[in-house]
Amino acid sequence: MDSLTITRPDDWHLHLRDGAALTAVLHFTARQFARAIAMPNLRPPVTTAAQAVAYRERILAALPREGTGSGFQPLMTLYLTDNTTAEEIERAKAAGVVAVKLYPAGATTNSDAGVTDIRKTYAALEALQRQGMLLLVHGEVTEGEIDVFDREAVFIERVMQPLRADFPELKVVFEHITTKEAAEYVAGSCRHTAATVTPQHLLYNRNSIFMGGLRPHYYCLPVLKREVHRQALIRAATSGSPKFFLGTDSAPHAAQLKENSVCGAGCFTAPAALELYAEAFEAAGALDKLEAFASFYGPDFYGLSRNTGTVTLKREPWPLPETYPFGDATIKPLRAGETLNWRLQ
Ligand code: NCD
Ligand code: ZN
C-alpha cells in the first residue's frame, strides 16, 4: 500500500502553549487534525471557565485565516486543583469546556498547582460526572520513593482503582499510557474508561533516551519504558478496541531548554504526528487499524460526531527539518533531520 486515505483525525491530547509559541506550533496540528484537546498546563494554569474561553479565543486568533487548518477547532479543558469548585465545573460546561485534567502535583511540566490528594477534588468530580464531562488523567504518582519507571503502574492501584469505584459513571481517559499494566487495566475496565497513546511510546523504548549518549528529545513524561511495554501498547492501539485512541501529547519546548542541564519533559511531534503513527502501525502490520484509532474511537468516547473530510498519506520519503522557528528561539521535532517514509499530502 503506497497511499492511505482516512477520515480527518483529531488529536485527543495536545500542548499548544500560548503567545509566540502557540503561533509557532498551532499550524502543524491544524493542517492534520480537525480538532484537538488543548491541555490547560499554561503558566498560570487554565483553572476557570473564563480562562478557558479566553485561551480558546487566543488559539482561534492564531489560526491561518483561510485554507488548510483555518477550520481547526480547539476543545478546551480545565486544570483541576484542590480548590476547583462544583460551580466552576458548571460554568465550564456552560462555556463549552469538554474535560478537566488531573495532574498530580509535581508530576510533570507546569504541574505545581496540581492535585495533592484526589479526595480533595471529590466535589468537583461529582459535578463532572453529573455534567457528563470527562476527566483526563496524568496517571503517575509523584512520591519520591517510587521509582520513576514504576509511577504509572503504582498510580493504577493507588488512584485509578479507587477513583473508578467511587465514580462509576464518570468518563475517564488515562492519558498517554506507557505500560503493559496500564494497557491491561484499561482493556479490562468498564466502558467509561479509555486511554490515549502517543507516537513516541508506540515507536520507542527507553533505550532511545540513552543511545550513544543522553538524548533529550526522547525525554517526555511518562518516560519511555522497556520494550515489553512498547509491545503491549502496540497490541492495544492496533487491537481494534475503541478504548484506545490517538493523543500525540506533542509538548513543545525550546531547543535550548531541552539541551540543558535540566531538560524539560516533552517530545515535539506535531510536525509529523500522523506520519509517525503510520510508521508505527505499518511496522505492526496494522495500517488498516489506523483510521479508527485516529479518527473514530476518540469522538465516539467523547460523545462527539466523527469528522467528515479526509486526509491522505503517501509513501514518499522526506527529511524532517532539523529545527523550526519558535518565537525568539528554535524548536527541534522528534526525529529532527531524519527521513520519514510517509508524508501527509
Ligand atoms: C508535557 C508538557 O511539556 O507540557 N510534557 C510531557 O513530557 N508530556 C506535560 C505532560 O503531558 O506530562
Ligand atoms: Zn501532555
Considering every ligand atom shown, identify the ligand nearest to the alpha carbon of residue 14 and give its number. 2
- CA–CA gap between residue 89 and residue 34 (Å, rounded): 25
Cell of 327: 518565537
Report CA(137)–ligand 1 centroid distance (Å). Answer: 12
What residues contact residue 157 under an 8 Å CB cut-off, 6+ apart? none
Of 182, 315, 299, residue with least CA distance to 246: 299
- Determine phi and psi for 337, rounding to 5 degrees: 80, -5
- What sections of the chain are H helices per DSSP? 19-32, 49-61, 86-94, 122-131, 151-155, 161-166, 180-188, 199-203, 207-210, 227-237, 255-258, 273-283, 290-291, 297-302
Atom of ligand 1 lying closest to residue 175 CA: 11
Architecture of domain 11-308: Alpha-Beta Barrel (3.20)
Q: Can you tell me the distance from the alpha carbon of 292 to that of 306, in angstroms, rounded to the nearest whole number?
A: 10
Q: Give residues with Cβ within 8 angstroms of 76, minimum separation 6.
A: 38, 40, 46, 52, 53, 55, 56, 95, 96, 97, 98
Distance 36 CA to ligand 2 centre (A): 12
Asked whether the predicted pLDDT for residue 28 surpasses 90, the reply is yes
∠ CA 165-166-168, rounded to 5°:
65
Distance 289 CA to ligand 1 centre (A): 27
Confidence of residue 263 (pLDDT cuts 50, 70, 90): very high
Shortest-distance atom of ligand 1 to CA 15: 4
pLDDT of residue 1: 86
201: pLDDT strictly greater than 90: yes
The three cell numbers locating residue 70: 483555518
Q: Which residues line ligand 1 (CB under 6 A)?
A: 15, 41, 108-109, 138, 220-221, 249, 251, 265-266
Active site residues: 249
Average pLDDT rounded to a whole number, residues 185-194: 98
Secondary structure (3-state) at 69:
coil
Read off the pLDDT band of 211 (50, 70, 90): very high
Residue 103 CA: nearest ligand 1 atom is 12
Q: Mean pLDDT throughout 67-77? A: 95
**277 contact partners, CB below 8 Å, separation of at least 6:** 199, 202, 246, 290, 293, 294
Nearest Cα residue to atom 4 of ligand 1: 109
Please state the rounded mean pLDDT for residues 319-330: 98
Q: What is the pLDDT of residues 214-246, one digit of tens each?
A: 999 999 999 999 999 999 999 999 999 999 999
- Taking phi over 0 as left and psi of -120 to 50 as alpha, with beta for the rest, 327 belongs to left
- Model pLDDT for residues 95-125, shown as the tens digit of each residue: 999 999 999 998 887 888 899 999 999 999 9
- Which pLDDT score is estimated for 156? 98
Output the CA torsion 33→36→39→42 (10° steps). 60
- Strand partners of residue 344: 313
Residue whose Cα lies nearest atom 9 of ligand 1: it is 109
Residue 306: its pLDDT value, please? 98
Checking phi first, is residue 176 left (phi over 0); if not, alpha (psi -120 to 50) or beta? left
The number of the ligand 1 atom at minimal distance from the alpha carbon of 264 is 3
- In this predicted structure, what is the pLDDT of residue 109? 78
Position 173 scores a pLDDT of 98
Q: Which of 149, 211, 231, 232 is nearest to 335 (CA)?
A: 211
pLDDT at 196: 99
What are 21's three cell numbers? 509559541
pLDDT of residue 179: 98
Give distance in angstroms: CA of 332 to centre of ligand 2.
17
Mutate to test the pocket of ligand 1, among 109, 151, 257, 258 (most ligand atoms within 8 A of CB): 109
Residue pair 37/12 in contact (Cβ under 8 Å)? The answer is yes
Q: Where are the chain's structural domains?
A: 11-308
Determine the pLDDT at residue 111. 82
The preferred substitution site among 141, 206, 220, 262 for testing ligand 1, maximizing ligand atoms within 8 Å of CB, is 220
> Is residue 80 pLDDT above 90, yes or no?
yes
